């Protein structure tokens, strides 16, 4: 799907339950590079592991970086898949190292939020965008008179045929 810009208004076809997971870090003390750099370097290893092993349940992701804060948005098949991933492999090792290295300092912060989104409780709109977010999971449909408003898209019950 690449970076081709869709020069139209579209909405994602994804209508199934999805787990939305946001995770990231914030650098609180720039000069404590020995504290925050290992945290920053742990995430690419996890992303690689997830891409190489689709059976883990991570369906798609988007990443963003700011001056102090990084943000990774992921879509997971189920909460069970996400929790199972958190309990093992690369993540568990990184979590243990973070706790050991950062137990008594505030040089780096981490965060995550998890949302379980049921069918008919999500909507999307993309204008002049490459394929992004939920549209990566199941493609997209051009906005038409039946999908013009957010309310219409939110309460849509099925994907187009």
Lay out the sheet containing 108-117: strands in order across: 58-65, 70-76, 18-27, 108-117
Tens of pLDDT, residue by residue over 81-121, are 999 999 988 898 888 888 888 878 899 999 999 999 998 88
Is residue 21 within 8 A of residue 84, CB to CB? The reply is: no
Which stretch of DSSP H or E encloses residue 8? strand 6-12
Q: Please tell us whether the domain made up of 18-117 is placed in CATH 3.40.50.300.
A: no
Which stretch of DSSP H or E encloses residue 152? helix 150-154
Is residue 77 within 8 A of residue 117, CB to CB? The reply is: no
Q: Domain residues of the chain, as ranges?
A: 6-14+120-154, 18-117
Torsion, Cα of 84, 105, 47, 56 (10° steps): 0
pLDDT of residue 88: 86
d(CA 38, CA 142): 43
d(CA 116, CA 75): 10
pLDDT by residue for the chain (161 residues), tens only, comes to: 457 887 889 999 888 999 999 999 999 999 999 999 998 999 999 999 999 999 999 999 999 999 999 999 999 999 999 999 999 888 988 888 888 888 788 999 999 999 999 988 889 999 999 889 999 888 899 999 988 888 888 887 665 54
Query: What mean pLDDT value characterizes the chain?
Result: 90
């Amino acid at each position: 799907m690449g970076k081709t810009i869709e020069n139209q208004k579209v909405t994602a076809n994804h209508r199934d339950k999805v787990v939305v997971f946001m995770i990231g870090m914030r650098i609180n003390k720039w000069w404590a590079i020995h504290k925050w750099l290992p945290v920053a370097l742990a995430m690419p290893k996890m992303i690689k592991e997830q891409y190489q092993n689709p059976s883990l349940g991570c369906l798609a992701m988007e990443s963003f970086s700011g001056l102090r804060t990084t943000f990774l948005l992921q879509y997971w098949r189920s909460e069970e898949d996400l929790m199972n991933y958190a309990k093992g492999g690369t993540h568990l090792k990184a979590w243990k190292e973070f706790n050991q290295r950062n137990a008594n300092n505030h040089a780096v912060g981490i965060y995550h939020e998890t949302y379980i989104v049921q069918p008919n409780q999500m909507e999307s709109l993309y204008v002049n965008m490459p394929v992004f977010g939920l549209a990566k999971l199941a493609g997209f449909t051009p906005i038409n008179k039946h999908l013009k408003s957010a309310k219409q898209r939110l309460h849509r019950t099925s994907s187009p045929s």
